[in-house]
Each structure stands twice: as C-alpha cells, then as structure tokens.
Amino acid sequence: MSHALVLNAGSSSLKFGLFRGRHPGLMAGGQVERIGGAAVLHLRDGAGTHLVDTALPDHAAADHAGALAAVLHEITGRFPDARIAAVGHRVVHGGMDYAEPTRITPEVLHALEKLEPFAPLHQPHNLAGIRAALKAFPEARQVACFDTGFHRNHPFVNDTFALPRAYYDKGVRRYGFHGLSYDYIAGKLAEMAPTLHAGRVVVAHLGNGASMCGLSAGRSIASSMGFSALDGLPMGTRSGQLDPGAVLYLMQSEGMKAEEISDLLYRKSGLLGLSGISSDMRTLLASDAPGARQAIDYFCFRIRRELGGLAAALEGLDAVVFTGGIGENAASIRAQVCRGLHWVGIELDDDRNAANDTVISTEMSRVRVLVIPTNEELVIARAAMQEIGDLT
C-alpha cells in the first residue's frame, strides 16, 4: 500500500503527516518547532496519542533539511513498512498560473521561486521544505498544493484593486489565502449540511494567521486577504488592513526602509503590537492588562466588520463557520464576535458555545453558527495520492 507524506514548512517550523490508502488515513503526524534554535519534535499517532516530545540537538534541526531528516528518522523507525510514493507540500502562493495541485518539476520550482516577493514570510520556507523533500525522496512524486488556488475564480470586482490595469495584468491583484482550509470546510459542509453548503456561508479561519472567506455554493466569492497575507484581519504579529498612506508616511516621515517596514508589518504588529504583551491569544485571554483587552476587542471588531462586508458580497447570509486554532477553541472570542449580530440573524447558544458543540447557535437563530475543525493536511494528502492514482 502506498503512503503519502504531507509537509507544511513555516519560517521556523515543519508540520508533517503520514497518510496511507486510497482514502487517506492518518498514521502519524506532528511538527518540529523552533528550527534553527532550540528545536523540539512532536509526534503523535493517528489517534492523537503522543509518541515523541523531544528536544533535537543543534545539528539535527539547524535548517529544514535537518528537521526533515529528524522526522524521517522517527517515522521510518516506527513505521518501517511505510512506502512513501508521494510528498504533498503546502505552498502559500501560486500566483496567476498555479491553482490546481501541481507536480513539482524544476520548471515549476523556478516559477514558484519568482513568487517569493509576493509572500516573503511563507514562500521561501515552503520551497525550502520542497528542496529538502526532493533530496530525501528523489523517486517520489512531489505535489504542490496552493493556498491561493481556492480563490482563483473570484468575480473581477473581488479580484482587483483600483490601480491602472497594467498592474493587474502583471499580477498585482487580490489572491486570498488559507484556501486549503476553506477547501476542507466547504467539503465538510457538503457532507454534514448540504443545504447550508448550497447557500451563503462566511468561514472565519482564526489563528496566528487569520482570514475570512465568503462561500456561495461552496465556491469562494470574496476573501478578507488580498495581494498578500497581510491584509484583512489583525493576526498574531501581522497588522491586517492598513491605509497605504500609513506606509508612505513611515517611508517619508519616519525614514524607514522597505525591510524595516516589512519587519514591522509582518512580525511586530497585530495582537503583539497592539497588546505589547504577546501574539498568543491564550496569553492575552489570561491577562488582566488593558493592552491585552484592547487587542482582543480590536480583533473581534474587525471580524464583525469583515463579516458584514462578506455578507454584502454574498447578498445574504445562511451560516457562519469558525475554524482554526482560535476559532475552534476560544469560546469567549466566538461569543464576543457574535454579540451584537442579532441584526444579521445570529443568536448564540451560550451553553453550546461553551461546550464547543458543532452547532453553537440557538434553534431560533436564522443564521446557523458552527464550529468545524479544519484539516489542511488531509486536503494535501488527497491531492498527493491522486497524483499517483491511489485515490478514487
């Protein structure tokens, strides 16, 4: 039986999953954290039982290649019969040319390298994971799955900026991100609530990276993120929506260089910048500091504001889905977001919300509110197995 390895390479992390079978089942998964520093490897089996939680020696995780080698050492030792025939990779940006899962060739890899300026926080590390996997599995099919792909059929008005048309033709347009997550949620809705899937749904993917997407009959109509993964909601360390005039001010009046502004907007803003405490929502929720409260209030306000805009783009609203680390686990954030949304037809059931039920709205709520855990790795595994013909 063929197996697929799924890799999701971040700036200092490597998430992974080992799948098998025609309908991919998870055998093991986990991540390496703090690559290049005090790296730690976490491994659990398909049932979620922890198998490994161990610090790695400096030489074993100095880079993504070393992290992958440490992962493979554990996987091959515990699953010696695993035959990895395909490796699926999350790639944040596919640009104008790549939307569907694509087999990685030297030409494709070169084209994806040209997109690094479009997603500087993610794309270089995604590609580092690909290069490491190409060396480790030279005979396996390597498949790229794109976070932007799910949004590539937006109507023109949700795909463009009011700049001269030449820039749109060069690729300066709204791409949208977290597409693998939205793809999974759309598929899950089709299984569990086909009537809602056929309607108008806003999905809130809330985590260290956060965005929202408007779905009509399971297709992306509009997204809160635009040209880059900076736009829209405030995130752990990213600013979210920002007047471009503020960037001009930072350049002209503060004398900041492009690299300094990039560092500010990607790494020092968002929840961290607003609170002055932490980028982690769990830390902020546990804090009594005024800055923590203000950061949470702004985060929830922006979610409500984006929800109103997406409902307008969809010309109505039938359901809201919370997903991602914060969306799935932070009941108080869901409650604060939904508070004051009676006008749009949302009535939250406090008991269901506190219990993290799948449906957290009341029976009388005109708009259904759901909590659905996302599974980007499964979307990638399916695409990888499809590439080798093991998925019907």
Catalytic residues: 147
What token pair was written down for 313? 């783009």
User: Residue 263: which of 116, 64, 120 has the closest Cα?
Assistant: 120
Q: What are phi and psi of 241, to 5 degrees?
A: -50, 135
C-alpha 338/C-alpha 336 separation (Å) is 6
d(CA 29, CA 27): 7
Q: Are 179 and 119 in contact (CB under 8 A)?
A: no
**Axis crossing angle, helix 244-252 with helix 258-267, rounded to the nearest 10:** 130
- Report how far residue 387's alpha carbon sits from residue 392's, in angstroms, rounded to the nearest whole number: 11
Relative to beta strand 141-146, strand 210-216 is: unpaired
Query: 36: helix, coil or strand?
Result: coil
Q: Tell me the residue ranges of DSSP E strands in the chain.
A: 2-9, 14-20, 25-33, 40-45, 50-55, 83-91, 102-103, 141-146, 200-206, 210-216, 219-223, 319-323, 368-371
By three-state DSSP, how is residue 256 classified?
A: coil
The token pair at 237 is: 């360390």
Judge whether 275 and 291 are in contact, CB under 8 Å.
Answer: yes
Burial class from Cβ neighbours inside 10 Å (0-12, 13-18, 19+) for residue 391 reads middle
Token pair in block for residue 61: 């995780």
For residues 32 and 39, the answer to whether their CB atoms sit within 8 Å is yes
Contact 136, 68 (CB under 8 A): yes
Are 149 and 99 a contacting pair, CB within 8 Å? yes
CA distance from start to end of the chain: 14
Give the C-alpha separation, 12 to 354, whole Å: 33
